[in-house]
Amino acid sequence: RSHPDVHRFSVETVQWYPHDTGMFTSSSFDKTLKIWDTNTLQPADIFHFEGTVYSHHMSPVATKHCLIAVGTKSPKVQLCDLKSGSCSHILQGHRQEILAVSWSPRHEYILATASADSRVKLWDVRRASGCLSTLDQHNGEKSKAASEAASTAHNGRVNGLCYTNDGLHLLTIGTDDRMRLWNSSTGENTLVNYGKVCNESRKGLKFTVSWGCNPEFAFVPYGSTIAVYTIFTGELITMLRGHYSTVNCCILQPNFQELYSGSKDCNILAWIPGLREPVPDDISEKSPPQQHLNPAYEDAWSSSDDEG
């Protein structure tokens, strides 16, 4: 906090440069995006915006561009170019503030944006016209007579976006207490029902998905807990309890299959998969089937002094 270049208000997003750890980025309600040099802990560049910065993202796969997508209080999506240091590229089409942005992990020029206007848009940033499609929760059935402007992804503010790791699907979360799974190439709502996904966040909600699991999971902040869903069936597997206040974000470390969550209780918790003893073949048929279901993630934190 004593650092002279520290953000003045709430920091909303922090991300490593995807290709090495020599640089990381942070954005804040103080209307700035800062590019930090890891070695000196000094800002190498600072981008200033007219409004609060809710979210930013660098493509994990881009080799031909160094664009950072930024969602702010403005309805315009801003693209900051690390090579030139300019923020001249703008994507127009949303009507209200941009709460979440995410580059496709499959196509380096494809960007998804979520807004308070209830819409999720997909963009090809090379195209002058910009928007490829606006996701429609009704798959066109209710809005055939209306214009494209009628297409909404949620019946409320859309404040969370997350691609599956193969980039073939996109998960969105809205303040209508719904999570939806979309086919990212066709824009179709897959109609997976996750039930009520409680979401009272006034800003962007950071949630994540598993890597290399079968089935694949989504980890979603849910009040002071984290809900674990199977992505393609919508089943609620478990609720991770350990925080004392609202959970704001969670992220997965795929090498160790560890989940980290941050909360308003000022704690960061690490969750590790519960390891199970292998079941001998001769008794596996007698054992209850739930032992073979998806591995629930457990809280490895202990309050006991003896256990350190």
Question: Which CATH number characterizes residue 239's domain?
Answer: 2.40.10
Query: Are 199 and 227 found together in one domain?
Result: no
Across-strand partners of 32?
48
Asked if pLDDT for residue 148 goes beyond 90, the answer is no
Mean pLDDT computed over 214-226: 94
Query: Are 232 and 126 found together in one domain?
Result: no
Q: What CATH number does residue 109 fall under?
A: 2.130.10.10
CB 25 within 8 A of CB 56: yes
The pLDDT tens digits for 51-83 are: 899 999 999 999 899 999 999 999 999 999 988
Mean pLDDT computed over 165-171: 95
**Domain for residue 283, yes or no?**
no
**Count of structural domains within the chain:** 2
Asked if pLDDT for residue 168 goes beyond 90, the answer is yes
Q: Could you tell me the pTM of the whole model? A: 0.84
Query: Are 133 and 236 found together in one domain?
Result: no
Structural domain containing residue 269: 211-276
Query: Are 194 and 56 found together in one domain?
Result: yes
Asked if pLDDT for residue 292 goes beyond 80, the answer is no
What distance in Å separates the CA atoms of residue 31 and residue 58, rounded to the nearest whole number?
A: 18
Which of 3-17, 107-121, 290-304 shows the lowest per-residue confidence on average (mean pLDDT)?
290-304
